[in-house]
Structures are given as C-alpha cells and as structure tokens.
Amino acid sequence: MATGEFGQAIRRWRDRVPPEAAGLPAGGQRRAPGLRREELALLAGISVDYLTRLEQGRAANPSAQVVEALARALRLARTERSHLFRLAGLAPPGPDTIPADITPGVQRLLDRLTGTPVAVYDASWTLLLANPPYAALMGDPSGWRGHQRNGVWRNFLGPASRVRLTPESRRGFEAALVADLRTAAARYPADQRLRRLVAELRANSDRFAELWDSGVVGRHQAARKTIGHPQVGPLTLDCDVLTVAGSDLRIMVYTAEPGTEDAERLALLTVLGTQTLVS
C-alpha cells in the first residue's frame, strides 16, 4: 500500500527535474524549479487528480505500471526506482522480468530528438515512452492503460491505427510481431505480465493463435510505412527500430527524406501536434 512516504518521495523527486530536461517549456511563474504536478501527470500518463491523491497519501495500491511510469518521468536511478516500488508495497522488477526502465543514455538520446517522432518499447512491445512528435504523428497514447499500451495487442485486438497496410504487408507485419513476441517469451519465461498478454491474445484472436501455434520466431524489422494523418494527409516515412543492448529496449524512430513533401508534412504536424499537447 502506498503511504505518505511514497507521496513525499514523489514530491521531492518532482522538484528536482527541470521542465526543459523533460522536453517541456520552462516559461511562466514557478513556485519551485522542478515539474508542476500537471506536467508530471502528463509525462507519466496518469490523471492530475490521481497524482494529487498519491502525493497526499489518499490513494493506495498503485499498480506496478503506474509506479514504473512515475519512475521514468522522474528519471530515477535504478536504486531510486527500486525504492519507489518498495514504498508502494511492491517488489521491484527482478532479473527474470522484462526490463522497463529507460537508461540515462537512452534518455539523453531522446532529449536530443525533440523534433523527431520517437517511441520507446520494452521487449514485449509495450509502450514505455512517446515524445510529443510521435503522439502528433500516431495519436496521443497518454490515455492508454494496461494492454492498450502493447503494440501487439493493439494490432490484433485494438482499434485501427493510422498506418496503412496492404493485405499482404499486414500479414507480414503480423507474423513479425508474433515472432518477436515469441522471442521475448523465450528470453523471459518467468514474466507473468507477458504470459497474461499471450493468453489473452490467443483466446481472443484466431489470427494470433494461428501464428503463435506455428512456432514462428524472429524480430520486428525496420520498414517504410505510410501513415494517414487526419490533418496533414498521408506521409510515407522510414521507420527504424533500434535495440538497446543490455536492456532490450526498442527505440522506434520515424524520419522523412529531406526536401520531400513527406518531410514538409512531418515538420508541420510536429509543430501543430506539439503545440496541442503542451497548450
């Protein structure tokens, strides 16, 4: 159960994170140098009301997902992250579970890509972090909860995405996703969250069950994707997936060839979308 000490730790760590370090504007009157409560809530993908209750000790039993999101938004070191889990009454993730912490080096890389759509996933393709340009391109993921944040679940059981796929390319994409997830399941056999994800997918998607039972193994690779954006129209972009050795993070980066109409549209929606998210 989260205690007053949990809330005190959140407030203390919130005060030490400058907004510009999190990609947020630093202007305006501030009573403290760190993040405002609404800014931390935005970065962690939780409501301001819930964060307020956590900080004031009026909310108990935060989920591991919420604690992990707060630890990422607060840029906690691994020892601090483990301490926050314990304050919440939870066991810190162990070596047999899929890593979900973003390393300082990866965070510094993201800080430098403020004008490029970037998302970070764990080995099960659960979304850990999406910067404002990514949210502008693919849709704001801040309201997603539980399996909604998993890319495999969203592809097989969720609403249609903005990515346009032919029937043939969709079949290949689905096979790559399942193959990648099977690889993660073999690497982290004790991860209960991953087991529950696979069980739900097999029970509710015949296509996933077919691919899973076929034993396909592999990795999701880089691709060229066409995204149908509701404001600026279609964009054809290069989608590169970078894997971080030692942490199994997947960094997804969308770029356009310079000087093309796609590059112009990407620059436009990045400006428009970022203004919307921070306004």
The enclosing domain of 22 has a CATH number of 1.10.260.40
Residue 234 to residue 117: CA distance in whole angstroms:
15
pLDDT tens track, the chain, 279 positions:
566 899 999 999 999 888 776 666 666 666 767 888 988 988 888 889 999 999 998 888 888 888 988 998 898 888 898 899 999 988 887 777 888 888 778 888 888 888 899 999 999 999 998 888 999 999 988 788 888 999 999 999 999 899 999 999 899 899 999 999 999 999 898 898 899 999 999 999 999 999 999 987 767 767 889 999 998 999 999 999 998 887 889 999 999 999 999 999 999 988 876 555 444
Short-list 169, 279, 161, CA closest to 221: 169
The pLDDT value recorded for residue 108 is 83
The pLDDT value recorded for residue 277 is 47
- 163-164 and 223-229: which strand pairing? antiparallel
Strands across the sheet containing 127-130: 127-130, 118-121, 249-255, 233-244, 223-229, 163-164
Instruction: Please indicate, yes or no, whether residues 112 and 167 belong to a single structural domain of this protein.
Output: yes
The pLDDT value recorded for residue 2 is 60
Instruction: Please indicate, yes or no, whether residues 20 and 132 belong to a single structural domain of this protein.
Output: no
Instruction: Please indicate, yes or no, whether residues 82 and 108 belong to a single structural domain of this protein.
Output: no
* Joined tokens for residue 13: 């760590």
The pLDDT value recorded for residue 110 is 84
CA angle 246, 250, 256 (to 5 degrees): 135
Residue 19 to residue 25: CA distance in whole angstroms:
6
Q: Which domain holds residue 68?
A: 4-87
The pLDDT value recorded for residue 125 is 95
Short-list 118, 30, 25, 37, CA closest to 73: 37
Instruction: Please indicate, yes or no, whether residues 62 and 174 belong to a single structural domain of this protein.
Output: no
The pLDDT value recorded for residue 278 is 46
The pLDDT value recorded for residue 26 is 62
Instruction: Please indicate, yes or no, whether residues 158 and 237 belong to a single structural domain of this protein.
Output: yes
Instruction: Please indicate, yes or no, whether residues 131 and 14 belong to a single structural domain of this protein.
Output: no
* Stated length of the chain: 279
Instruction: Please indicate, yes or no, whether residues 81 and 111 belong to a single structural domain of this protein.
Output: no
If one counts the domains in the chain, the total is 2
Instruction: Please indicate, yes or no, whether residues 52 and 164 belong to a single structural domain of this protein.
Output: no
